[in-house]
A and B are shown apart, each in its own frame.
Chain A
Amino acid sequence: MSDAAVHDDHHDHKPTGIGRWLFSTNHKDIGTMYLIFALTMFFVGGAMAMVIRAELFQPGLQFVNPQFFNSMTTVHALVMIFGALMPAGVGLANWMIPLMIGAPDMAMPRMNNMSFWLLPFSFTLLLSTFFMEGGAPAGGWTMYPPLVFQLGDGFPFLIFAVHLLGISSIMGAINIIATVFNMRAPGMTFMRLPLFVWTWIITAFLLIAAMPVLAGGVTMLLTDKFFGTAFFDAAGGGDPLLFQHVFWFFGHPEVYILVLPSFGIISQIIPTFARKPLFGYSSMVYATASIAFLSFFVWAHHMFAVGMPLAGELFFMYATMMIAVPTGVKIFNWTATMWKGSMTFETPMLFAIGVLFMFSIGGFSGVMMGITPVDFQYHDTYFIVAHFHYVIVPGIIFGIIGGIYYWLPKWTGHMYDETLGKWHFWLSTISVNVLFFPMHFIGLAGMPRRIPDYSTQFADWNAIISIGGIVFGLSQLIMVWVVIKCIRGGEKATDEVWEGAHGLEFTLPSPPPFHSFTTPPEVTEASAHS
C-alpha cells in the first residue's frame, strides 16, 4: 500500500443518506450509479427482447399485435444502446479512468453529476410513451421519416429523450477528455496510458463529433412535424434520404463509441491473465485511432439499398473494407499477447476470449455486408440482425461483463464467486450462439428483419433461436446474484487482486478509499504499461 493511499484513509469520510447519491460529485459513486442504471436498463431492454422472441417462437400471431411488436423492436434497441451499453461504458470510465491515471477525481465533478442524472429523466420520457395515445415509438430505432411522423403523442417525447441523452453523453465526453488531458499523474505520458484510457479518449472525441449530428437530425424531425419545415418531405422540396445520411453519419461512429471501450477493457484483461505485456501497444493505439477516423467515411454502407450512384456505392464499399485492416491488427495483437503467455482462465479472461472469437464472427459477416452487390441481398434480413448482435452482445456486452468481473474485487474489496462466474460465462456463451448463429441462416434464406410473423419454412430455426434467447436472458440473472453476493462479502481481495495485474488502480487498497490519489503517484516506464 502506497503512502498516498494510507494518507487518504484518514480523510475517508463520505456523505450519508440519499444526498450521497443525489448530489454526488465523487467519481466512484457516480460510476456506481451509471453501472446500476445500465444494469437496470439491460433487463428492461432484455424483457422486450423476450417479448420479441416469445412472439417469434412459432409462426402466426400469439401474444402481441404487429404495432406493439414494432414498438418492442424499436424501444429494445433504444434502451439497449442508449440506456445499457453507453451508460455502462461511461460508468466504467468514471470508476476507472481517475484510478488508472492517478487523478483524485474527474475534472468536472458537478457536470459529472448532471450527466448521470439526465439519464433517468430521459428514459422516463421515452418509456412513458407506452402509456400514450398512439403508443411507443414503432418506426425503428433509426427513426426514419416519413414513418416516424406516424407516431402519435409520443413523438416529441422521443425527440426530447434523444436530446437529453445527447447532452448527457457530450458532457460525459468533455469530462473524460478534460480529465485525461489535465489530470494525469507525473510521468503518466500519453504513450504510457493504459489502453482502456486510450480507447475512451478516442470514444469521447467520437461522441463530441457524432452526438450533435444526431441532435440536429432529430431537431429537423421535430420542426418538420410541428413547424412546417420540409427537410425530409419530397413534396416540400426535401428528401427523406437526407435524414438517413444525417442519422448514419452519427450512427456509424456510434457503433465504435460502443465497441471501443470494450476493446479497451479486453486490452487490460488479456495481458493480466496471460502474464505478459500487451503486444504492440503503440500499434493498438494507432489502430484504434484509425478505426475511429475511418468510421466517419463509411456511413452509407447502412443504406446501400436506397439507390445511390455507382460512384457512391463503390466509395463506401472500399472505405468499409478498409476498416477490416485496423480491426484485424487489433485481433492479431490480442492473439499475439496470449501467444507464449502463461494463461489462467478466471471469469474476466473467459469473457475476453469470448470477445476475441465472437467479435471476429461479427467482423467476418461485416466484411461480407460491406460488399455492396451482395449486400443488396443481405440488407434488412436476419443476416444483418445476426451480424450486429454478434458485434454487440458477445463483442461489446461480453467485454463490459469481463470488465465488471475484472474490477469487481477492486470495487468491493471481496473476490466474487468464481464458480458462479464460470457458470455465467459458459451458459451465456453457449446460449448466445444458439440465439444468434442460426439468424445467419434464416437471413440468407430470405427472412426480413422487423417482422412479427414469418413464413413457415423459418419456423424450426426461430424456435431454436427463441430457446437460445430465453436461456441467455435467464443466464444474466446469475451475474446479478454474483455482484450482490460479492458486495455483501466474500474472500478478501488483495490490492493487486490478480497475480498478473499491473496499473495504478492495483496499487490502491481494495476497495479504494472514497478519495484516492489526493497526492499524485509517480509513474515510471517500469510501472506503466500493463
Chain B
Amino acid sequence: MSVDKLKRTVLGLIAVSLFLVSGAVLAEYPLNLTEGVTETSHRVYELHMIILYVVTVIGIVVFSVMTWSIFHHRKSKGAVAAQFHHSTTAEIIWTVIPILILIGMAIPATQVLIFMEKTGDAEMTLKVTGHQWKWQYDYLDEDITIVSALHADDRAAAQIDSGINPESIDNYLNNVDNPIVLPIDTKIRILTTASDVIHSWWVPDLGWKRDAIPGFINDNWTNIKKVGTYRGKCTELCGKDHGFMPIVVHAVTKEDYAVWIEEKKAEKAEAALGKDMTMAELMEKGATVYAANCAACHMAQGEGAAGLFPALAGSPIATGPAGDHISKVLDGKNLMPAFKGQLNDVDLAAVITYERNSWGNDAGDMVQPSDVKAAR
C-alpha cells in the first residue's frame, strides 16, 4: 500500500467514525460530565475540560511519534537500526516539559479545591445520613426529617423476572418516594454521615460527592443556581442494594421552599397527635412504608432471603405478641437497623400492623400510633 493510499484510507476511516460518533451523540450515548447548576460544578467542569484537552494534545503528539516510527522505521521498508542509546539533552527535555505542564494544571486545580472547601457562612444546614439502603435528611434549622428510599415502582421493576421493562419507567432507578426540597440561591451546608456502613452522597449537578461515614461527620456546601430536579446516587459500595438508593433533589425558589417547610411541619404535627386509625388506613399506609423500608431485605412477599435475611411470613415475631414486634422494629437487631430514629409513630404503627396481617400472617390485631409512642 502506498503512503498516499494509506493516508486516504486512514482519513476515510476517521471521517466515517466521526460521522458515526456525531450521530451517536444525538441518540442515547451520553459522553461527558455534566456542567451542573452550581458555581462549584461549573468550575469543576471547566477544570475537567482543560485537563482533558491537555492530555488529549499530549496523547496526539506522543502517539503520532510512535505511529510515525512504527510506519517508517520498519525493517520491511529497509530501515537500518541506528545504534544510539542515550541523550542527556533529550532526557532533560522530556523531564522538564511534563513538570511545567503539571504545574500549569496544579495552579487552577488548587484554586478550585480551595473554593470547594470553604464551608463557612452557610444560611441553612442539611444533615444527610446514609442507611442501608435509603437516605435520611434532617433539616436541622426546621426540625424536619425526610426519609427517602427507592420508589416502589422502580423496586418492583428491579427484580429478576419482574416482567416490567425498565424503559417503561421514567428515570428508572432514579426515583424516590420522598424527594427532598432545597431552596435556590442559598448557601446550604450539607453534613454527611451514616448509621451502618460507609455510603457516599453524590448529585452530579452539584459538582461533588462526599462519603457518609458512620461515627463521623463531613461538611460540604452547595448553592444551587437554577430551579429543577437533580438526581444522584450512592457511590460507595454499601451492600446488597447499593445500586438502589438514589437521591432526588427538587430545587425551588425560596418562597416555594418556605411553603413546603410549612406543609412538612403540619404533617409532622398531625402525626404527633397519635390519633387512632382504622385497620384499612393502617394496612394501606403500612404497605407503602413496607415497600420503602423493609422490602429490600425481607422481600416483597415477606419471604426473606435464606441465610441472609429472615422471612416475616409466618415468623414467630410477626405472629407473636405485638409488644415484641414493636420493640424489634424500634431497636433493630444485628443487620436490622433501629427504626425509631427514622420513622414516625404513624408509619411504624402502620408497617407493624401490615406485617402482622399480610402474606398469611393473621395476628388480627392493630398496632396504633399511641402503642408505638408508649413503647419508645
Interface residues of A (CB under 8 A from B): 59-67, 70, 133-135, 138-140, 144, 146-147, 150, 152, 233-235, 239-241, 274-281, 283, 305-307, 310, 313-314, 317-318, 321-322, 324-325, 328-329, 331-332, 335-336, 338-345, 353, 356-357, 360-361, 364-365, 367-368, 371-374, 376-377, 379-381, 441-442, 444-446, 448-461, 529
Contact = CB atoms under 8 A, between A and B. Distances in A.
11 contacts: A60-B162, A63-B160, A147-B238, A241-B213, A310-B114, A328-B94, A340-B82, A345-B74, A356-B66, A376-B116, A380-B209
Nearest to B49: A374
Secondary structure at the B interface, as helix, strand, loop or mixed, is: mixed
Given A376-B207, A380-B202, 16 more contacts: A70-B240, A139-B239, A233-B215, A234-B216, A281-B85, A317-B109, A324-B98, A329-B91, A338-B66, A338-B69, A342-B81, A379-B200, A444-B33, A450-B242, A455-B172, A461-B30
Contacts, number: 304
B167 interface: yes
B58 A364 contact: yes
Contact of A146 (B55, B192, B197, B308): B197
Contact of A372 (B83, B113, B192, B236): B113
Interface in B16-53: 27-34, 43-44, 47-48, 51-52
Nearest to B157: A60
Contacts of A61: 158-160, 162
B153 to A, nearest CB: 13
B69 A280 contact: no
B171 interface: yes
Contact of B30 (A335, A371, A377, A441): A441
Given A146-B214, A376-B44, A340 B204 contact: no
B91 A306 contact: no
Given A374-B48, A451-B243, A240 B109 contact: no
Interface in B187-240: 192, 196-198, 200, 202, 204, 207-211, 213-216, 218-220, 232-240
A331 B62 contact: yes
Interface residues of B, number: 102
A449 to B, nearest CB: 8
B333 interface: no
Contacts of A307: 192, 210-211, 213, 216, 218-220
A-B CB proximity, top 9 nearest: A234-B215, A451-B243, A445-B30, A307-B218, A364-B55, A376-B208, A277-B85, A342-B81, A380-B235
Nearest to A140: B237
B48 A368 contact: yes
B216 A444 contact: no
| Residue of B75, B76, B79, B308 ringed by the most chain A CB atoms within 10 A | B75
A294 to B, nearest CB: 13
A133 B309 CA distance: 12
B198 A144 contact: yes
B109 A150 contact: no
B51 A459 contact: no
Given A139-B237, A357-B63, A343 B75 contact: yes
A61 B307 CA distance: 21
Interface of B: 27-34, 43-44, 47-48, 51-52, 55-56, 58-59, 62-63, 65-66, 69-70, 73-76, 79-87, 90-91, 94-95, 98-99, 102, 105-106, 109-110, 112-114, 116-117, 157-160, 162, 164-167, 171-174, 192, 196-198, 200, 202, 204, 207-211, 213-216, 218-220, 232-244, 305, 307-308, 335
A374 B102 contact: no
A64 B94 CA distance: 50
A60 B70 contact: no
A341 B44 contact: no
B198 A240 contact: yes
Contact of A450 (B56, B63, B237, B305): B237
A324 B110 CA distance: 18
A50 B33 CA distance: 28
A368 B63 CA distance: 18
Nearest to B307: A133
B214 A279 contact: no
Contact of B243 (A321, A336, A367, A452): A452
A343 B74 CA distance: 4
B130 to A, nearest CB: 12
Given A134-B307, A324-B98, A380-B200, A341 B69 contact: yes
B51 A367 contact: yes
A446 B200 CA distance: 14
Contacts of B84: 279, 340
A313 B218 CA distance: 14
B307 A338 contact: no
A77 B69 CA distance: 36
A70 B239 contact: yes
B81 A353 contact: no
B166 A445 contact: no
Contact of A368 (B51, B102, B162, B243): B51
A461 B29 contact: yes
Contact of B51 (A65, A310, A329, A374): A374
A241 B202 CA distance: 19
Contact of B80 (A329, A342, A371, A529): A342
A454 to B, nearest CB: 7
Contact of A371 (B47, B65, B335): B47
B373 to A, nearest CB: 27
Contact of A306 (B52, B112, B211, B214): B211
Contacts of B95: 325, 328-329
Contacts of A322: 102
A433 to B, nearest CB: 12
Contacts of A446: 30, 34, 204, 232-233
Nearest to B86: A280
B30 A343 contact: no
The residue among A456, A459, A461, A529 with the most chain B CB atoms within 10 A of its own CB is A456
A66 B296 CA distance: 11
Contacts of A344: 74-76
Q: Which interface residue of A61, A64, A455 has the most chain B CB atoms within 10 A?
A: A455
A377 B307 contact: no
